[in-house]
Amino acid sequence: MTERLYLYDTTLRDGQQTQGVQFSTEEKRAIATALDALGVDYIEGGWPGANPTDSAFFDDAPKTRACLTAFGMTKRTGISAQNDDVLAGVLNAGTQAVCLVGKTHDFHVTTALGITLAENAENIAKSVAHLVAQGREALFDAEHFFDGYRANPDYALQTIRAAYDAGARWIVLCDTNGGTLPAEVGRITSEVIEAGIPGDYLGIHTHNDTENAVACTLAAVDAGARQVQGTLNGLGERCGNANLTALIPILLLKEPYASRYVTGVSLDALEGLTRTSRMLDEILNRVPMKQAAFVGSSAFAHKAGLHASAILKDPTTYEHIDPAVVGNVRIIPMSNQAGQSNLRRRLASAGLEVASGDPALARILEEVKARESEGYSYDTAQASFELLARAALGRMPDLFEVKRYRVTVERRKNKYDKMVSLSEAVVVVKVDGEKRLSVSESMDEDGSDRGPVNALSKALVKDLGQYSSTLDDMRLVDFKVRITQGGTEAVTRVIIDSEDGQGQRWSTVGVSANIVDASFEALLDAIRWKLIRDTSAGKTA
């Protein structure tokens, strides 16, 4: 007999409280779509009315199988739920489920809110009842519940009972300050159930301030809670929320959870976990955490010599799960045996068939390894990887040669005594035996400077002879820059995403201590890839 566990994702709300994180509406849409593909049950999209981004997200939210949830707070004292404009703003988002946070710790009621305990309990009851009357699924986020229960268990229970009696579908026990340890989370959750709130009405929301958020969540599930809240990659206020990227594989793969419970995440979807985690880092331009449980690039890297040799005999000797089930890969330094078959698959997907055992495979792996140690990364820059492989296979056509370039960035006062900047680029190429000089400046239609990479990009495509027309519909859609380690020096890695009129989208990488030069290299790769794809040059090589 398995029981259903419900997964509630708050990446878009509590995750946005991460220092340095500010999602755009478009990014919120992309993340919601990825969460839905993973199979979470609820997606908390933000607080409609509290800021323009959240409101815009709900106005045009993606269609999801998961239940989209709006977040807000219980009504204020002295106003009816019907007349509370903040609450109305939340309801206006029109979501099926609404989660309202309210106080359960007596100290906060009197200190932070400055109202009586009875008023607070009534605010909770009335707010939840209002949601239910509007036909919504009501969730109550019991803020500071564990601290509140320790201080005044009767009052803490009174607040959640108010929500439960008013018809809340879920009472979410929150360890808002993140200081409660797993054993106590388990004990208090059990006592709440003994006090009459059924476990299948209880959720758990923890924070990682003692590095125990995942363990606290498991302790609450062990005690009987049936909704698990968390965020992708453990984003969230301060040290973050419980990390769903760790919790989901635990619940699906590890005992006693795997046989006892079922969630909305399938084993098929689980294989997308590593990719989803990396995508979020990509959006946030964060360096993925190598040591992250399950999805980190080091999670299945076996550095100790004794471990690595045993792994080759039997991977279960030093692995608690098969990395493939979460979409991750095993790394055994000093052994590229594992790599060759993956490599052939990746080449085939780019239309490059290479026979098994071809010595070029080892050459390509070496080259990738050497370049990665210089700071390159081919995880996302698939187009640059294809060009590298073509070169190693002797299948790289001669397209054009860049002889030299020069970019100037200048900032000075204009004739109106206003500081303005301008970039100018000169590129000299040789195409079909002929030398061509092009010059461009970086100017918008409105006369503002778009910078040196823009100027370079325009000069580069301006006159490439027979190839120019193919590049007409190509444009740069994203540009990511990261400082990384190349050998012993810090270098700049630039990843460029390009797009064309046919809807093709491809990524290229450039690395240099010089950011303009790194950008130029990625631009060159982007152009070469497109020319190989779309002209006869690629076929004849």
Strands 202-205, 227-230: parallel, antiparallel or unpaired by DSSP? parallel
Of residues 118 and 306, the one with the C-beta less far from a second copy? 306
Q: Please give the residues from 215 up to 254 whose contact with a second copy meets the rule CB under 8 A.
A: 215-216, 218-219, 222, 234, 237-240, 243, 246, 249-250, 254
Of residues 133 and 287, the one with the C-beta less far from a second copy? 287
Distant-in-sequence, close-in-space partners of 284: CB < 8 Å, separation ≥ 6: 21
Q: Please give the residues from 114 up to 143 whose contact with a second copy meets the rule CB under 8 A.
A: none
Shortest reach from residue 2's CB to a second copy, in Å: 18
Crossing angle between the packed helical segments 117-133 and 153-165, to the nearest 10 degrees: 20
User: Which of 408, 468, 469, 536 is close enough to bind a second copy by CB under 8 A?
Assistant: 408
The C-alpha atoms of residue 247 and residue 225 are separated, in whole angstroms, by: 14
263 scored as a contact of a second copy (CB under 8 A): no
Of residues 306 and 348, the one with the C-beta less far from a second copy? 306
Q: Please give the residues from 294 up to 323 whose contact with a second copy meets the rule CB under 8 A.
A: 294, 296-304, 306-307, 310, 313-314, 317-321
Distant-in-sequence, close-in-space partners of 133: CB < 8 Å, separation ≥ 6: none
Q: Please give the residues from 37 up to 56 whose contact with a second copy meets the rule CB under 8 A.
A: 51
Of residues 291 and 540, the one with the C-beta less far from a second copy? 291
The stretch near a second copy (CB under 8 A) out of 80-88, 131-139, 189-197, 290-298 is 290-298
Strands 227-230, 261-262: parallel, antiparallel or unpaired by DSSP? unpaired
Of residues 97 and 456, the one with the C-beta less far from a second copy? 456
The stretch near a second copy (CB under 8 A) out of 59-67, 119-127, 166-174, 479-487 is 479-487
Q: Which two tokens stand for residue 44?
A: 């908390």
Q: Which two tokens stand for residue 222?
A: 């062990």
Of residues 170 and 378, the one with the C-beta less far from a second copy? 378
Of residues 256 and 503, the one with the C-beta less far from a second copy? 256
Q: Please give the residues from 160 up to 179 whose contact with a second copy meets the rule CB under 8 A.
A: 176-179
Which residues on neighbouring strands pair with residue 485, listed in sequence order? Answer: 490
CA max distance for the chain: 87
The residue type found at 508 is T
Q: Please give the residues from 3 up to 32 whose contact with a second copy meets the rule CB under 8 A.
A: 17-20, 22, 24
What is the residue-wise DSSP string for 71-86? EEEPPPTTS-GGG-HH
449 scored as a contact of a second copy (CB under 8 A): yes
111 scored as a contact of a second copy (CB under 8 A): yes
Residue 90 and residue 98 in contact, taking contact as beta carbons nearer than 8 Å? yes
Shortest reach from residue 42's CB to a second copy, in Å: 20
Residue 63 and residue 39 in contact, taking contact as beta carbons nearer than 8 Å? no
Q: What are phi and psi of 466, to 5 degrees?
A: -60, -20
